[in-house]
Amino acid sequence: MPDAETPPTPQTWLLRIPAVFADYTPEILETLGATGCKRLGSDYHLVKLARPELLRDSEAAKFIRWNLPVHHSWPCSPAEVDRFIEKAASALAGKFATTGVQAVMMGAIDPGSPNRQFRTLASNLRGRTLQLFGPAVAACGVEDQDARKPSLFALLGKEGLFAGVQSPRASNGFFPGGTKFISQGAEATISRAGAKIAEALHFLPLHHPLPPPDCHWVELGASPGGMTSELLHRGFRVTAVDRAPLDERLDSRPGLTFVRGDVAQFSPPPNTRFEAILCDLNSTAEQSLNHVLRLADSLAPGGLVVFTLKFAGVESFAAINRLFKSVTARAAAAGIRLLATTHLTYNRKEFTLFFERPA
């Protein structure tokens, strides 16, 4: 008889499961085959994974906001360690400086805490670590990272220091933890949705180039205009559709065409081509998808769809997965290919899906 296959050795992994999905955490971890689970902060779980590929290929994958293989850890209370920054920086440089990482990114395990202690500590530790890594790594900022090349990510908290090397794409974010703080201007007072599309456009380059300046978006359900304002601010042209009016601050904004009416009745002028469709409608996922697919013929080859998958009363882990499969299957049948799925910082209990109409 052949020898039994040796099971793979579990690897230590840091997983971020957003607090809005806390009720599904047992099922998420079970689906991943996670063992030895330890909670860190409000969102993070330190686990052992025998099959890390399930972070990409399982029904649990879309619930994981960010992930990192832990190649170095220092369980400690950083505030109580004498010369912590110098010791931690030296350890990181000794272990990773010759590995060819493109960047060093550090953050706090609990970035939302009103106590800035660990955010400040992470910033100071990154500064000292970059001095030891040299100018090439120090020059690479968050937005300069190549999504496919490895970076050194580290997270700090009262539980200690946890670091690993992985590409931003594999980790599902350019920032450690995946969170980008969105500094908003007038868009913030129009609606919080402006932050949602801003973060979506920060996330998109993990998988696809950003749409070029001056490209034409159609936004379904645009009122009061937070997303519209963000798109216009970035130099895009926008056809905004909604029964309700837009914020008066958007009146006469260059590049804006406002169509006041029901999205279901909206029909673009003949020969109109959009490079992107944005849908954040407050309706069921199937209804929202109907509107997107109806406009798919007006989407240019290579065009994008940014779609908020809202659960609208769908409560269980299994039901959410069924809804996701149904929506993505219908899109695929209509020639719209799924690029990526994530839960953004500014999402509630919903996912943001990115589709492309292949050229």
- The number of beta carbons lying within 10 Å of the beta carbon of residue 116 is 11
Q: What is the pLDDT of residue 1?
A: 42
CA-to-CA distance for 282 and 243, rounded, in angstroms?
A: 13
Instruction: Identify the architecture of domain 186-356 in CATH.
Output: 3-Layer(aba) Sandwich (3.40)
Q: Looking at domain 1-179, which of 3.30.2130, 2.40.50, 3.40.1010, 2.60.120 is its CATH number? A: 3.30.2130
Q: Check whether 298 has a pLDDT greater than 80.
A: yes
CA-to-CA distance for 344 and 290, rounded, in angstroms?
A: 23
Q: Check whether 53 has a pLDDT greater than 70.
A: yes
Are the C-beta atoms of 357 and 335 separated by less than 8 Å? yes
Are the C-beta atoms of 308 and 350 separated by less than 8 Å? yes
What are the structure tokens assigned to 43, written together?
A: 């969102």
Q: What is the pLDDT of residue 2?
A: 43
- The number of beta carbons lying within 10 Å of the beta carbon of residue 201 is 16
Phi, psi angle pair for 272, to nearest 5°: -70, 140
Which residues in the chain are classed under CATH 3.40.50.150?
186-356
Taken as a whole, the chain contains a residue count of: 359
Which residues in the chain are classed under CATH 3.30.2130?
1-179
Q: What is the pTM of this model?
A: 0.93
Q: Check whether 116 has a pLDDT greater than 60.
A: yes
